[in-house]
A and B are shown apart, each in its own frame.
Chain A
Amino acid sequence: MSMSPVLSIAGLTKTYDSGLQALKKIDLEINRGEIFALLGPNGAGKTTLINIVCGIVRPSTGKVTVAGHDILRDFRATRQKIGLVPQELATNMFETVLTEMTYSRGLFGYPASPAHLEKVLRDLSLWEKRNDKIMTLSGGMKRRVMIAKALAHEPEVLFLDEPTAGVDVELRRDMWALVRRLREGGVTVILTTHYIEEAEEMADRIGVITKGELILVEDKATLLKKLGKKQLTLHLQEQLSAVPIELAEWKVQLSPSGYELIYVFDASAERKGISSLLQRMGDLGIVYKDLNTEQSSLEDIFVGLVHENRSGT
């Protein structure tokens, strides 16, 4: 697997005709074969970003390349490599599943390949429904059809715009499994979501976007390690009325009941902090009967980040 980026975005901005600036100077590189989650609240600019790469929205400034090809100058080369499952369900309802897929594959410039279409349809549990009109399918099935259409031309890069918004648990699980299989097959997957658990579950790397700005791009593991806060709770034998002055340097907090001491620390901070805290407590004769730690989820990190960004600007 080559490490040259499959998608490279430099200085990309977008101002809509309405005057609204949806993207403010985005720089981003996506590696071949990775699963990248673009995480951000509604209106952050996720769909705008994807639509620009796919050719649906025109960039205001900046340069975007896919596998080294410019999306404007070499639009044929780039678009043949890209598959898009849009946020909204939009397909011709009067056609059969197979007709729609055949149409999609042709549209993207490839000769017919019944074998490939069959593989995709089976992968998505749609094979039995191939001759059904799309309007007769359930909402979940229609979503699968959208994915099947996007995969009909064997894209190297797949965009999933809010793939699991309003989707039932089963389909969500299937979708995640499919994304992993695609990655194993060498496909790069870029998905947008405002569900943190989805990014946490799926992604290799995460970008956080808010108000048109990419405020962070990081390996998921690094992100969790770097920004994840851990919390140690000590359940005390005897009630305290205030935090002893000797424990001030750890900035511990006392729960309202007076029976718990809470120590918050960065995941990167060494154990030393904990052990010295416990030692000092022993010296003071504060006895605890139990202790437990909690790790913050991406959700906490995310809320913290967006909050920080809002108050910062």
Chain B
Amino acid sequence: MSALAFNRYGVWAIYRFELQRFARTLVQSLITPVISTSLYFVVFGAAIGSRMSDVGGVSYGAFIVPGLIMLTLFSESISNGSFGIYIQKFTGTIFEVLSAPVSFVEVVTAFVGAAATKSVILGLVILGTAKLFVPIEIQHPVWMLAFLFLTSSSFSLLGFILGLWAKGWEQLSIVPMLIVTPLTFLGGAFYSIDMLPKTWQTIALFNPVVYLISGFRWSFYGQADVDVVASLAATLAFFGLCLFTVAWIFRTGYRLKN
């Protein structure tokens, strides 16, 4: 038997296991976000949106679609990315992964890959749902997918880190609530940041979420709050930061091995 260089069977085992859990909870995994997104459209798109003026030539209902998808991607990626590893720590089944011939890179690839896969599927389902309510055009589909993948992966990584770090269920839910939700709402999901007062516009530019949403919206309608290159750079930087953190955690065995 030759030594493994890359344990593809191992990565596949974890990846498939995670997706199976997703399939088992398909209803709550898909239906909940789809329903809540639909409600957003009913309220913001139809009820309020009809009284809102177009943003840069795009109807308000259509304008909020990319932001809404991003909103869901953020929270779902974090929760998917954190849950898989956390539940293994919680139940003790993590011993098997720790004693298996899988490297940390492989473990991360499998868990984060599975979480990101779910998020991408979810994003596309929401996009499909939105299409039922408002007309949507996608000017740069390749970029749209690129932002979708990158964002899903980055936030799944962030979730994974959270899952490694969390000592209890409260910690697991508090980070998305305390950090991600406000950043998202202040990130221009429902408005263009040039609709904000001047000072707030400047402050908003320090919010990384602004870049992600802006870039994603640009891939739809060709208009953005910030330069799309800046958006891409910010997305990649965020992704890199998460990768770096996870590598550091692994090197130190932080909270996984004594």
Complex: how many Å from CA A142 to CA B88?
Answer: 17
Within the complex, the shortest CB–CB distance from A3 to chain B, in Å, comes to: 22
**By DSSP majority rule, is chain B's interface helix, strand, loop, or mixed?**
helix
Scoring A residues 80 to 91 as 1 if CB is less than 8 Å from chain B, else 0, what string do you get? 101010101011
Q: How many whole Å from A264's CB to the nearest CB in chain B?
A: 45
Q: Mark B165-191, 1 if CB is under 8 A from A, else 0.
A: 000000000000000000000000000
Contact B13 A107 (CB under 8 A): yes
The reply on B19 being an interface residue by CB < 8 A is no
User: Are the CB atoms of A55 and B98 closer together than 8 Å?
Assistant: yes
- Whether B4 lies near A91 (C-beta < 8 A) is no
> Which among B73-81, B99-107, B220-228, B237-245 touches the partner chain?
B99-107
Q: Are B95 and A56 in contact (CB under 8 A)?
A: yes
Q: How many A-B residue pairs have CB under 8 A?
A: 85
Question: Given A16-B258, A106-B9, A74 and B97 touching (CB < 8 A)?
Answer: no
Check if B101 sits within 8 Å of A80, measured CB to CB. Answer: yes
B201 within 8 A of A: no
> Is A94 at the interface (CB under 8 A from chain B)?
yes
Q: Is B198 an interface residue (CB 8 A)?
A: no
| Interchain CB contact under 8 A, B101 and A54 | no
Does any Cβ of B come within 8 Å of A205's Cβ?
no
Which residues from chain B contact A90 at a C-beta distance below 8 Å? 91-93, 95-96
**A107 B102 Cβ-Cβ under 8 A:** yes
Q: What residue in chain A is nearest B107 (Cβ atoms)? A: A107
User: Closest CB-CB distance, B200 to chain A, in whole Å?
Assistant: 45
The complex places the Cα of A108 from the Cα of B99 at a distance, in Å, of 9
Contact with B101, one of A76, A91, A99 (Cβ below 8 angstroms)? A76
B13 near A111 with CB under 8 A, answer no
Contacting residues, chain B, for A91 (C-beta < 8 A): 93
- When C-beta atoms are compared, the residue in chain B nearest to A112 turns out to be B9
Q: Judging by beta carbons under 8 Å apart, are B4 and A58 in contact?
A: no
Residue of B nearest to A48 (CB): B258
Measured between C-beta atoms, what is the minimum distance from A61 to chain B in Å?
15
A273 CB-CB contact with B under 8 Å: no
By the criterion CB–CB under 8 Å, are B258 and A108 in contact?
no
9 tightest CB-CB pairs across the interface, nearest first?
Answer: A106-B13, A90-B92, A76-B101, A79-B101, A54-B99, A107-B100, A106-B9, A109-B7, A107-B13
15 contacts between A and B (CB under 8 A): A76-B3, A79-B99, A79-B100, A80-B101, A90-B92, A92-B91, A94-B21, A94-B24, A103-B17, A106-B13, A107-B9, A107-B14, A107-B96, A107-B100, A109-B101
A interface with B by C-beta (< 8 Å): 16-17, 54-58, 74-77, 79-80, 82, 84, 86, 88, 90-95, 99, 102-111, 149
